[in-house]
Structure 1
C-alpha cells in the first residue's frame, strides 16, 4: 500500500533492554486482531456516518459558494474557515480509516470481507467528491 505500520511494542522490544518481561507479543497481537475484527464489523456503519458527514459538508460548501461576495462580513469568513477546517478534518479521518483498514489486513495477511470492501469503496468515493 505504501505506508509503514509502526508497532510501539516492537520498537520497545528492539531498543529497550529487559522490556520482554513487561510486553507479551502474543497478547498484543491477539489484542490487535480483536481490534481489527471489531473495526471490520463496525466499518459499514462508520462509513455510513462519514458519508453523511461528507454530504453535509458538500451541501454547506455549496451554500457558501452561492453567497453574495459584496456583503461578506467577518462572521462569514469565520464560518467559511470553520467549514474548511471541518472538511479537512473529515478528509483526514476518512483517509486514516481506509489506510489503517487496508494496511492491517495486508500486514496480517487476512482476507478482506465484502462488507469491508464496499465500505472502503464508499469512503473512497466520498474522498473523490
Structure 2
C-alpha cells in the first residue's frame, strides 16, 4: 500500500499543477486587520512601521480605493494591500516571505505596529 501511495501522490500533484488549479493567495494567508482610519493615515502608518522594522519601500501602486506596497529587508520580501472601506476604515493585509517560506509572525507585527501608530497618533492629536 505504501509503495502504491508513493507512486500515485506525485502523479496527483502533477495533474493538480497541470490542471491550472488556483494557487492560494498569499495575502489571504498572512495577517489582516481592519483599522479605524481612512486610507491615507493607514498608508502612513504602514510605511512608518516598515521603516521602523528595517524594510525599504520598493514599490507603491494604487488609487483612491486601495494601495499595494512592496518592500524588502535583509532576507525578506513584504507585500501589503490596503483597501479603503466604508465608514473611514481600512483593511490592511500583509504577507512576508523569507526565501520560500511565509513569515506570518513578521506580517502580524507589521499590521499590529501600524495599528499602534494609528492609535497613538490619534490619541496625541485629540
For the pair shown, which has the larger CA radius of gyration, 1 or 2? 1
The TM-score with structure 1 as length reference comes to 0.28
- Which protein has the bigger strand share? 2
The TM-score with structure 2 as length reference comes to 0.28
Q: Higher relative contact order at CA 8 Å, sep ≥6: structure 1 or structure 2?
A: 1
